[in-house]
Chain A
Amino acid sequence: SAVISQKPSRDICQRGTSLTIQCQVDSQVTMMFWYRQQPGQSLTLIATANQGSEATYESGFVIDKFPISRPNLTFSTLTVSNMSPEDSSIYLCSVGEFWGAKNIQYFGAGTRLSVL
């Protein structure tokens, strides 16, 4: 299984600032995903990041607020821009391993963000 490292593991930020979260994978993967887990809620997909193309955002998430980079097959970043307290969540990176009709997604440990 893929080993995923996320940085930072947690941060406390001021309103109006931005935070960039890094996701490093120990093997080359085609598809990387960024999820948000708000307190007491389920995981919600923010966007899918494929190397060599623009990220695909889910309904309710926009590039200006959550810009994503995917410079190579082992690395991606998610930036949370112009933060407000409502952005306080756990942000998770995941990667998919697909073969045939089957797929498994593995998750990093997450970044716990608190916005004051």
Chain B
Amino acid sequence: EDQVTQSPEALRLQEGESSSLNCSYTVSGLRGLFWYRQDPGKGPEFLFTLYSAGEEKEKERLKATLTKKESFLHITAPKPEDSATYLCADPPQGGSEKLVFGKGMKLTVNP
């Protein structure tokens, strides 16, 4: 069964305290690992897609990296506005374009 597991489920940081979020996946033949940000009352906002081990992408204080088994979302010197739920997702085997999502990780950054 295709699975995407995120850890930790929740993380509370002080402003400026860097950390990393983990996303592990079980699907072989990776066709992209997706990161989304979701604010309360809103739909997920696309952040990154990673396609091959060793690939990295950055956006402001966020950097996503990918290995053969997991992806990390590194948050450098976070600000309160980075508080959100971060979701990772993976297309399953079989060529479908749908996404299998992890449960998400709720990040709270305190000022």
| A positions within 8 Å CB-CB of B | 1, 4, 6, 31, 33, 41-45, 48, 58, 92, 94, 96, 98, 101-110, 112
Give the chain B neighbours of A109 by CB distance below 8 A: 41-43
For B36, the closest partner residue in chain A by CB is A107
* B97 lies within 8 A of A43 (CB): no
Q: How far is the CA of A106 from the CA of B43 in the complex (A)?
A: 9
Interface residues of B in 51-104 (CB under 8 A from A): 51, 87, 89, 91, 96-104
Other-chain residue from B36, B49, B99 in contact with A45 (beta carbon distance below 8 A): B99
Give the chain B neighbours of A45 by CB distance below 8 A: 98-100
Q: How far is the CA of A42 from the CA of B14 in the complex (A)?
A: 26
Question: What interface size band does chain B fall in?
Answer: 20 to 34
* B97 lies within 8 A of A103 (CB): yes
Other-chain residue from A1, A6, A44, A102 in contact with B32 (beta carbon distance below 8 A): A102
Measured CB to CB, the closest approach of chain A to B107, in angstroms, equals 16
* B44 lies within 8 A of A104 (CB): no
For A4, the closest partner residue in chain B by CB is B43
* A103 lies within 8 A of B32 (CB): yes
| B positions within 8 Å CB-CB of A | 31-32, 34, 36, 41-46, 49, 51, 87, 89, 91, 96-104
Other-chain residue from B34, B41, B46, B98 in contact with A112 (beta carbon distance below 8 A): B41
Other-chain residue from B31, B44, B49, B51 in contact with A107 (beta carbon distance below 8 A): B44
Q: How far is the CA of A58 from the CA of B46 in the complex (A)?
A: 23
Give the chain A neighbours of B99 by CB distance below 8 A: 43, 45, 105
Q: How far is the CA of A44 from the CA of B31 in the complex (A)?
A: 19
Give the chain B neighbours of A94 by CB distance below 8 A: 43
Measured CB to CB, the closest approach of chain A to B71, in angstroms, equals 16
Measured CB to CB, the closest approach of chain B to A89, in angstroms, equals 13
* A105 lies within 8 A of B34 (CB): yes
Task: Tell me which of A1, A58, A103, A105 has the highest count of chain B C-beta atoms within 10 A of its own C-beta.
Answer: A105
Other-chain residue from A42, A98, A108 in contact with B101 (beta carbon distance below 8 A): A42
* B49 lies within 8 A of A104 (CB): yes
Q: Contacts A105-B34, A108-B43, A112-B41: A96 and B104 contacting too (C-beta < 8 A)?
A: no
